[in-house]
Amino acid sequence: MGLRLQERLPQLATPAGSVQVTGDDGQPRALYISQQGTANARQWLLIRPILAEAERFQRSQYFARIGTWDWDIDTNHLYWSDAIYGMFGYAVDEVTPSYELFCNAVHPDDRAHVRAGELRCIETGENHDEEYRVVWPDGTLHWLRETGNVVKDERGTPIKMMGVVRDITEEKAWANQLHRLAHHDPLTGLPNRLVFEERLEGALASARRSHGRVALVFIDLNGFKAINDNLGHAAGDQVLQATAARLHEALRNSDSVARLGGDEFVTVLEGLSAERAPEEEARVIAQRLLLPLEAPIRLGDRSQRVGVSLGIALFPDHGQTRDQLIHVADLAMYEAKRSGDNQYRLGQAQALRARNG
């Protein structure tokens, strides 16, 4: 039964014909209705509200994007309620459900864990609850959540699984959007402070294991307030977006860049050799970052130069922890700022000792 139930039924004025219903075993059955005699007319009056309720149930499944399924373990026969066809990108009469059809529709990367969940349910009796992607015939990806449990015969042998499946594509999209908003700067698209601190911690842990070096670079734009005041906030936003794009292009895939807020950015450079002198390392890093940042930024019909200041701290040279390196890099950045535009300064170990008293 489903959204086209009324098409399968004869007109109510002449209740004769058949309609497909689902039996207790999950198999489709044909229900024959006849208008022969008064007794059958009374029978129709009893059946009609049941069929109407069944159609309402199927409609509610369709609009709630929930469907029911029934899988015979021995025969691999699979039953879908009408709503499930649409979740796999098919019309109700377009395909015949089968376990093979289901498996082929599941994204290749998800098939193993879906199958493992089914086997676990069959072997242990645990409830089946899996999220997976399906590939529609048009190539688009959709997320489904499937729950169910095993049905056993009188000897305790598993004979089938039954459950429901729900389309969670929109939920996944919303969750991804919320995650991005929580972890990225909405203006530049760069990771925010939370992500930066996590990545710095990860970079330090990796460097400790490999006896490598990590560079932390604080970047501040000079004269940014004047741009906002004189040219407007839209121009200021363009400067921030252009700076973010240039930093992203200047870094390797293994490096990270984030916006801390206002006109402050930060980069984490991993996999650096600990054999190079700190001063030489700082020079190479500064050259890589300053060159693209010094170029004028196009703002409408004018070009605007924006000065930058870099403060560089190295692990393990200037600190062992995230907070220590942040402190040293921050001090170095302000020292560079006092020296004029497009300057860099390498942090000093004594700055950390002074902080620790």
Indicate which residues carry an active-site annotation: 263
8 A C-beta contact, residue 167 and residue 142: yes
d(CA 202, CA 191): 15
**Cα 121 to chain centroid, rounded:** 27
Q: Which two tokens stand for residue 356?
A: 């620790």
Q: Which two tokens stand for residue 33?
A: 């209705």
Which helix (H) or strand (E) segment is 85 a member of?
A: helix 82-87
Q: Which amino acid is at 325?
A: L
d(CA 62, CA 142): 16
DSSP-derived 3-state class of residue 7: helix
Residue 155, CA atoms < 13 Å, CB-side half-sphere: 3
Which helix (H) or strand (E) segment is 28 a member of?
A: strand 28-33
Residues across the chain: 357
